[in-house]
Amino acid sequence: MGPSRLSWLAYGLASALLGQVASATQATQLEPIDILGNAPGRLVVRDNDYTKLDLLSTETFLWGGLSGKGKYALGNFTAYMPGKHENIIAMEKFYPWLKSTECTKDSLTMHFEDEEAYRYGAKAWKWVNDAEDHTFVLVAGRGHCQWNEDRLPFTITDVEFDDCANTIKAIGKATDWPKATHTYELFVGGRPASKKRDYDDSYSFDISQELPLNKAAFTYDGVQLEYTCDGCGTSGEFEFAFHMKTEYMIPVDVELAVSPREVEAKFEPQLKLSAQMGKVEMERSLGSIPIAGVSIAGGILDLGPRIEFSLATEIELKGSAAISGGGTASLEDSAQLTLDLLDAGVASSGWSPQFTPKPLTFDAALEGSLKVGLKTSVGLEVSALSKTTFDMVS
């Protein structure tokens, strides 16, 4: 009788990082963080710093949220208006000075409670009427138009003033972020520090999931293979930090940094084989695990992983047998991976998984050879401002 052997293919655990965008129901939806720190129902403190009504060439907006596992993610989006004909202003800065607002898809009317604030704003915003090509982006905060559930940008082309009623009517189209901005910088990472507005470097994706297909049967060129794998799957977290910089709608820097935290993949299947043939190689999908991603409304960001598994076999044998074995692969927490999504460059260290095997058991002898292993596919699909999509698949 010829030799019997079972050798497991490399897990390729590092390649199981990221796939396509997870479904919207699973994504951590980041919520707007008010620029002035005002929360709904909270007493608003007014001041007399009317420079908050100045039109600016840059403005920063924050979003934050908790995942189902209690992990905090922060989105930091800075919009730049470098042209002499364009500006931007966040309504959150001066909203405490308004008594009411009225919004349509074509205008935003603001009734000022403070006459001095109105006169300052009217003087500052008159700029848009001075030339035909002058525009500014007026960003209404969540609920400022009553019907908007997230921040809503308006591209303003004209303003009208009512001095008697202290009212400014900004005329322009309600739009989305991809149409309102062309030059920006976006960061998605971890929780803000407690005493400053800086943020940590990373946010964690929880990858603790069971293998999606734990029982299957395949027939291929004379091979009958029954597969069961109860308790197989992944555990741990991948920390990530995403950064993107765009100038006039052209990405100039897009980077994703990833590192594992107590990451393991357990694969201890039981196989029943029946075959009488020459050498055959085959691969069958075992399904995919969607991992909760991160989303910022308004088309700013959709990012999320999916781990895809397949069973790969290389068989040259006669007879039948039942086999169990496998093991657990893990990554050191010190491992690091940085992906340059523009140049497809990868810098990594410590990404060779440590494998702890489980003793093999047979209920019959085999004549020939058998190789079985779990394979994973790698991909990353990131959609930022709905007009820049990166898709990377191994």
pTM score, whole prediction: 0.73
Q: Which of 149, 109, 132 is nearest to 297 (CA)?
A: 149
Mean pLDDT of all residues belonging to the chain: 75
What pLDDT score does 30 carry?
87
Which residue has 């810098």 as its token pair?
347
Contact 111, 101 (CB under 8 A): yes
Dihedrals φ, ψ of 270, to 5°? -115, 130
H or E, element range at 246:
strand 233-247
Give the tens place of pLDDT for each residue, 34-86: 988 655 444 444 568 999 999 999 999 999 887 656 677 888 999 999 999 99
Ordered by start, the domain boundaries in the chain are 6-24+207-237+261-333+349-393, 30-186
What pLDDT score does 18 carry?
28
Q: Which of 158, 136, 123 is nearest to 91 (CA)?
A: 136
Distances in Å between the Cα of 224 and the Cα atoms of 219, 275, 314, 368 are: 5, 6, 13, 16
At position 196, the amino acid (one-letter code) is K
Structure tokens at 219: 């027939």
Dihedrals φ, ψ of 15, to 5°? -80, -5
Question: In a 3-state reduction of DSSP, which class is residue 161?
Answer: strand
Please list the alpha-helical segments (H only) found in the chain.
115-125, 177-180
Question: In a 3-state reduction of DSSP, which class is residue 92?
Answer: helix
Give the tens place of pLDDT for each residue, 97-119: 999 999 999 999 999 998 999 99
Which residue has 């397949």 as its token pair?
310
What pLDDT score does 384 carry?
67
Q: Which of 167, 60, 54, 149 is nearest to 108 (CA)?
A: 167
Which pLDDT band holds residue 151 (cuts at 50, 70, 90)?
very high
